[in-house]
Amino acid sequence: MGFVRSLKKLMDGMIPSRDSNPTPIADGESPLTNKKIMKELINHFKFKLEEESFGDQMLYPMSYTVLMDATDYAERKDALGLVVKQTVSKFYEIIKDMQSEYSEYEPICNSWYFQFVPCYDAMLEGVTITRGSIRTMARLVPPDEGGANVSVEANVQVSMRLDNSNVISNVNLNPDVLKNIDSVGEGTFRVRFDKSLNTDKNKIQLNAKDEALAVLSYSREGKNYRYQMVDNLINISGRGETRKGRAFFIIENDDIINSHVQIRYENGKFQVAAFAPVKLNQRVMSISSGIPQWVDLANNSKIFFMDAMLAVIFTIKQD
* C-alpha torsion angle, residues 243, 245, 246, 248 (rounded to 10): -10
Provide the pLDDT for residue 137: 86
Q: pLDDT by residue (tens digit) across 183-201?
A: 334 688 888 899 999 999 8
Q: What is the 3-state secondary structure (H, E, C) of 168-210?
A: EEEEEECHHHHHHCCCCCCCEEEEECCCCCCCCHHHCCEEECC
Provide the pLDDT for residue 103: 94
Cα(102)–Cα(105) distance, rounded to whole angstroms? 7
Tell me the residue length of the chain.
Answer: 319
For 145, residues 6+ apart whose C-beta sits below 8 A from its C-beta are 62, 63, 109, 110, 111, 113
Q: Average pLDDT for residues 15-28, to the nearest whole number?
A: 39
CB 217 within 8 Å of CB 95: no
Helix (H, G, I), strand (E, B) or coil at 295: strand
Cα(70)–Cα(75) distance, rounded to whole angstroms? 9
For 141, residues 6+ apart whose C-beta sits below 8 A from its C-beta are 62, 63, 108, 109
Cα(114)–Cα(190) distance, rounded to whole angstroms? 6
For the whole model, what pTM was predicted?
A: 0.56
Instruction: Calculate what percentage of the chain has a pLDDT beyond 90.
Output: 46
CA distances (Å), origin 259, targets 44, 251, 291, 297, 314: 40, 11, 13, 17, 16
Provide the pLDDT for residue 57: 95
Whether 239 has a pLDDT exceeding 50, the answer reads yes
Provide the pLDDT for residue 281: 96
Q: pLDDT by residue (tens digit) across 59-94?
A: 999 999 898 888 899 899 889 999 999 999 999 999
Of residues 45, 146, 140, 34, the one with CA closest to residue 88: 45
Q: pLDDT by residue (tens digit) across 117-174?
A: 887 653 444 445 788 988 888 888 876 544 333 333 445 566 666 555 555 666 555 5
Q: What is residue 286's DSSP assignment?
A: P
Cα(34)–Cα(158) distance, rounded to whole angstroms? 24
Average pLDDT, the chain: 79
Provide the pLDDT for residue 69: 87
Cα(41)–Cα(64) distance, rounded to whole angstroms? 8
Instruction: Calculate what percentage of the chain has a pLDDT beyond 70.
Output: 72
Q: pLDDT by residue (tens digit) across 85-119?
A: 999 999 999 999 999 999 999 998 888 999 898 87
Task: Quickly count: other Cβ atoms within 10 Å of residue 242's Cβ.
Answer: 10
